[in-house]
Structure formats: structure tokens, C-alpha cells
Structure 1
Amino acid sequence: MVVLPVRFERSPRLHPMLSEEPHAVGTRVVVQGKRGPEIATVRGEPGEPQPQERYGAVLHAATPDELTRWEALHASGEDLKWLLRARARQKNLPVKIVAVEFTLDESLVTVSYSAEERIELTGLIGEVRAQTRARVNFAAVGPREQAQMIGTLGACGRENCSSNHLQDFAPVSIRMARDQQLPLNPEKLSGPCGRLLCCLQFEHTQYLDLLRDLPRKNARVCHESSGACGKVTKLHPLTGTVDVFTDQGVLTDVPATELRRLTDAEIKALPDGGRGTPRPGKPARGKQG
């Protein structure tokens, strides 16, 4: 027995399946998954089974008749999806039908839907049962899963990561955007699903490594050669430089390696207590004459 990574149609995630023979990459096979028999595609080289792991099973390579039947079931699922969308509009249900999928033996039909609140699905369940004898399963999916199943284009102009190669949805936070010095604009930081871009996590660890060599924003620093001191206003991790607003009122871009960070004692010893020269247009605090 070998383990084959296979991929289903609506998700890039690879599922390890036990197989009695090592099918070639690209082979379409019939697998026994959690929902029942389905068609999947082999997407990797065979590996060794791991103890205490639970696997699905590759039954055999798909025959031409099975592939033809699978295409017909796919078409039936698409027709049923659009029918349910029309019925949902007629009933004023705040729900979006994302996908309708049959198992190969047509014993189960799974209706994936997205809704912002809990809704009554009895009417839609009846519509499905009027079209097929298969058991009906309605499965709620989130915004990211919806984008994964439908497929969209990202801001980069390429297929969105969730439907192309992502294996799991890792947590993404606004801190990742801050660390990468990106403008905190929700429209630019959100993907087609309306959530934070998954790609923010791809280079985050590299940015953290680069930031370790830079002074923090608002830190007091002095230039080693000129002796000019000021406050750090912006970081440029990729170039290894920072913007420093000097006490003389000049904004300069300086390599971090040429700067010396002031100690707390040195900052307290400064005449202004480390506040530095205010930016133009921002007068110093205090009573105005």
C-alpha cells in the first residue's frame, strides 16, 4: 500500500489516500472519501503510510464511463444550484448557494451555502428532494471557503491563493500589514472574500527578521558620522533604511547601520527631554502667545 496525494475539483487542498498501486500524477481516480465515492486527481508522488494516521482510499483509476457519469452529475449540480438560487430569491432568503455536488453513486448531494445569519432551510431542502432521491446535506461555508470554491482573481491579477494552492487558512492579522509598512487601507488589504489578504502571511517571518535590525518607530537615534540626532518616523525593511526627522527640522533617509540608538539616560539628558524638534505644521505643545 502507498499513500497518494489527491485533489478534488473545488479545492487545492491535497488529501492523502491509501492505494494498492502508485498511479501517475494527473491520473483521475475514484476515491472513497467521507461523503462517498468521488472523482479526484492524483497530484503527487506516492509515499509511505504513517502509523496512527487515518486515510481515505483510492479504489481504482476512473473508467471512461465513470468520467462521463461524473461530468453529467456535475452538470446536474450546476442546474440545481441555479434553481436553488432562484428559489431563494423568490422566498427572500438572505442566502447564497455556492455549490451543489453529487457523489459518484448519486447517494448524497451536498449543498454548500453562505449566510450571515441563521436561516430556515426547510423550503430549499424540499426543492432539492423534488429533483433527486439522494440524501441532502446543507453545509455552511465561510467567506474564505466561498472564494476557494468559486474561484476569483486577486489584486495581483492572478487566481486567488485560496483556490490555487493554499492547503489551510492560517490566521491573518492587521499586525502583519503594520510590520510590512503597508497603508492600513481596508480596500487594499482585503481580498475578494472581504477578509484580510491571505498573502500577508507569506513574507511575514522575513519582515520580522528584517525589522530586528532596524530601530523602532519614534526611537531617538544619532548618526554615527555627522552626529545629527532625531526621531525615527518610518521604517523601510527591504532597503534597511529609516526616515529620521532631525532636531534641525530635516527629514532624511539613513541606512540603519549608520545610526546609534540613544540609551534612556542619554534621552533624559537632552535639553528637550527627548521630544525632538516638532514636524513642520505641528507646533510644539504649550501655551501660544
Structure 2
Amino acid sequence: MGCSSCTTATGGQPRGCKNNGTCGSDGCNKLTVFDWLSNMSLPAGEQPFDCVEVRFKNSRKEFFRNSENLSLSIGDMVATQAKAGHDIGMVTLTGPLVKVQMKKKKEDHTDPNLPKIYRKATQKDIDKWQRCRDKEEEIKKRSREIAIILNLQMKISDVEFQGDGSKATFYYTAEERVDFRQLIKDMAKAFGIRIEMRQIGYRQEAQRLGGIGSCGRELCCSTWLTDFRSVSTAAARYQQLSLNPLKLAGQCGKLKCCLNYELDVYMDALKDFPAQDTKLFTEKGLAFCQKTDIFKGTLWFSYKDEPANWHALTKEQVREIAEKNKKKEKVASLEEYASENESPAETAFENVVGQDSLTRFDRPKRKSKRRNNKKKGRNNRNKASKNA
């Protein structure tokens, strides 16, 4: 994800917004909603929807009323109403789809107290807002030092300035309740601005900061995922994943949200499978299920006395044996059913194109006898010519 203003300049240095994929242009926006109605005109007599969606730093989005009937399009920088002063944000969605988004976020578009858009941001507004953004990293570092001096068990993860520079919101995470009254006094005295503290969860922290997941792509929560559904270890068990916390946890320290993506497919596939605790009674002994392969539709059973010897059975065969067991009938053995599933041995790879060995460079290079014989013959002829 990137735009023309996020590319590199000469010498590999970043240019433009320098926000690494979260700049103000629409080419690399966070949580962008595709406006599939943008090329369609409104019916005759239909008034355009007077609310727009505006995005601020990272993933914070709010809805504002366009009471001045400004001609706004996606990517425009606007000055919006705030509790005190004004804020600067970017328009991310206009038109009737905003009503759909407001309904999804449970926002009332008929609310008369909905904040308003003052005007399009001037260059002076953008320059002042950019100067405030440049100070955020230094202020975040200084605020963390103050919190450490006060021995507060909290982590300040992000700082967001208001567009006019009069207020800064500090986002923090903490395990328990934190008394930060003295912290606010010290930071207000050090920075000379109004301070607002806002506690967020670990998933929201990862959403704001972003990053690269173990899959090699940007985090889902910072690019398109808006709702955080609960994820349990049962999702990993149904998908037969190793219950390794290091592999199942994301950058937030919680279970990865992507564990829920394919869970419904696994649940549907497991409906046709016998239960994991199914026991099969045979004349050779009692058998237990050891492993299940959902994709191949195969279950591996082993006798109670031979736990290391597994026999592969299809789910149909397991149901057939279970039905016979319900009728107080025992099958002879599992080997009779497992033998039907044996596939013919595959032929090993044969080198038919004369490829060289991969270890050919490990062998020392041999000198050619032919070259040595030619060299000896040349030396003999030279000696003979000198003696003549």
C-alpha cells in the first residue's frame, strides 16, 4: 500500500508525508471503504446526503454534518468541529454510503447535535497541523519518561494532536486501573497544552500502530478489519492447529483474529465426521481415534494394546463399524477396512533429462589427463628442437 507521496527520494530517503503508508492521500488510506456508487448520479429531485465520514490519525473515524453544503470529495482536508477549537481530518467517504456506515456504527444521522464541518482546510491550517504532528514522537517519549518517574504501571502507545494544536490525546494500555492525575498535571506543565487520557485495549493498540503479521501482509485490524470478535482456543482445536501460544498469538499478544476466518468451513466439514471420542469394538480389541484429516476425510484408529500402530479409515467406514457396534456386532479387525484404502505405491522421481548432481561442486576438481599428456608432448618437442 503506497501512493506517489510515500515513495522514496534520492538516496533511498522517504519523501512526501513520511507516514509509511498512512498518509493523507487516498492511495494508501487505512480502513478505506470502496465507494461503488461514486459513478452513479442521484435520481431527479433527490438531495445528496448531508453527512460525510472523516478520518483522523491512524484508524480514528467520525461522522460530520456538511451544513454549509460544501463540494467535498474523497481525499479533501477539512476543518471539523471539536469540543474546543477545531480539528483537521481527511474526507474518506461521501454520499449515501455514509448513511449505511452510520447505521453500522449505530450513529443517528438525524441527530441535531452531530458535529459539523466548518470549511475546507487552508494551507495555513495544514501547516499548523503538520507542525503538531512532527512533535508527537518527542512528546510521546517525554510522557513515557514522566510515567516511569511516577511508577505508573501503564504504557503510553500513541499521541494524537488536535488540528489546532490546543489539545493532545494520549492513548495508553494498562492491566489495572491507573491513577494518572499527577501525570496529567506534570504533562500539562511540561507541554503547555490540554491533556486527555484514553485507555485502549491491546487489539486497539495494534490497530493504531499497525505492522506486518506472520503471513507477511499488513495487519488486518489496521487495514480493513473494524470489529474485534472474540477468539478462543477452540477455534485452533477445530482446525487441528498446534496449541503453541507463540504461533497463535498476534502482535497484540492475543489470539490472532484470522483464526475465525475459516472456522465456519471447518465446522461445516466436521458435521459429517464421527465424534473424536468414537470407540470401535472389534474382535481383535478396542480401538480409539488418534487423528483426523478433515481435507482427506480420513480418521486414524489404533488398538488399545497397540497405540503406536495406526490404521487409516474413511469416515464412511467408521460410521459403518459404529452402526454394527450399536447392534452388538463386532467386526473382525480394522486391517480389513484399512487395506481397502491402501493406494498403489507412487514411482520415485527418475532423472530422465540428465541433470547434474547437486553435490557436484563439493567434489574436488580433477585434472584432465589429456591436458597433461599434451603438455608433456609439447615439452618433449621443445627439448628436441633445442638439441637439434
Fold in common (TM above 0.5): yes
1:218 counterpart residue number: 277
Matched, 1:164 2:212: no
Correspondences of 1:61-210 after superposition (within 5 Å): 61-210=120-269
Structure 2 alignment gaps of length 5 or more: 1-48, 336-388
2:381 counterpart residue number: none
Give TM-score, length-normalised by structure 1: 0.76
1:233 counterpart residue number: 290
Work out which of the residue numbers 63, 66, 77 in structure 2 matches 1:28: 77
| Structure 1 CA distance for aligned equivalents of residues 320 and 88 of structure 2 | 61
Structure 1 alignment gaps of length 5 or more: 223-228, 278-289
CA positional deviation for 1:157: 2.4
**Maintained 8 Å contact 1:215/1:232:** no
| Structure 1 CA distance for aligned equivalents of residues 201 and 157 of structure 2 | 10
The answer to which structure has the higher helix fraction is: 2
**Maintained 8 Å contact 1:32/1:59:** yes
Distance change in 2, residues 1:167/1:14 (3 Å):
farther
CA deviation map 1:190-217 (0-9, x unaligned):
1111111111122222221222222221
Distance change in 2, residues 1:265/1:127 (3 Å):
same
Matched residue SS, 1:260: helix
Decide which moves more: 166-175 or 87-96.
87-96
Matched, 1:39 2:95: no
| Structure 1 CA distance for aligned equivalents of residues 276 and 93 of structure 2 | 46
Higher CA-based Rg: 2
Counterpart residue identity of residue 95, structure 2: P
**Maintained 8 Å contact 1:80/1:128:** no
Distance change in 2, residues 1:69/1:260 (3 Å):
same
1:286 counterpart residue number: none
The answer to which structure has the higher strand fraction is: 1
Matched residue SS, 1:193: coil
CA deviation map 1:116-170 (0-9, x unaligned):
2233323321222114443321111221112122223222122222222211211
How many residues align? The count is 266
1:10 counterpart residue number: 58
Decide which moves more: 45-54 or 102-111.
45-54
Give TM-score, length-normalised by structure 2: 0.59
CA deviation map 1:73-120 (0-9, x unaligned):
112222211111122223333221111222113343211112222333
Matched residue SS, 1:269: coil
Matched, 1:245 2:301: yes
Matched residue SS, 2:135: helix
Distance change in 2, residues 1:14/1:138 (3 Å):
closer
Correspondences of 1:50-69 after superposition (within 5 Å): 52-53=108-109, 56-69=115-128
Matched residue SS, 2:319: strand
**Maintained 8 Å contact 1:210/1:240:** no
**Maintained 8 Å contact 2:324/2:330:** no
Report the aligned-residue RMSD.
3.4
**Maintained 8 Å contact 2:301/2:313:** no
CA deviation map 1:198-244 (0-9, x unaligned):
1112222222122222222132479xxxxxx954332333x142222
Distance change in 2, residues 1:255/1:6 (3 Å):
farther
**Maintained 8 Å contact 2:280/2:325:** no
Distance change in 2, residues 1:16/1:120 (3 Å):
closer
**Maintained 8 Å contact 2:54/2:64:** yes
| Structure 2 CA distance for aligned equivalents of residues 221 and 59 of structure 1 | 74
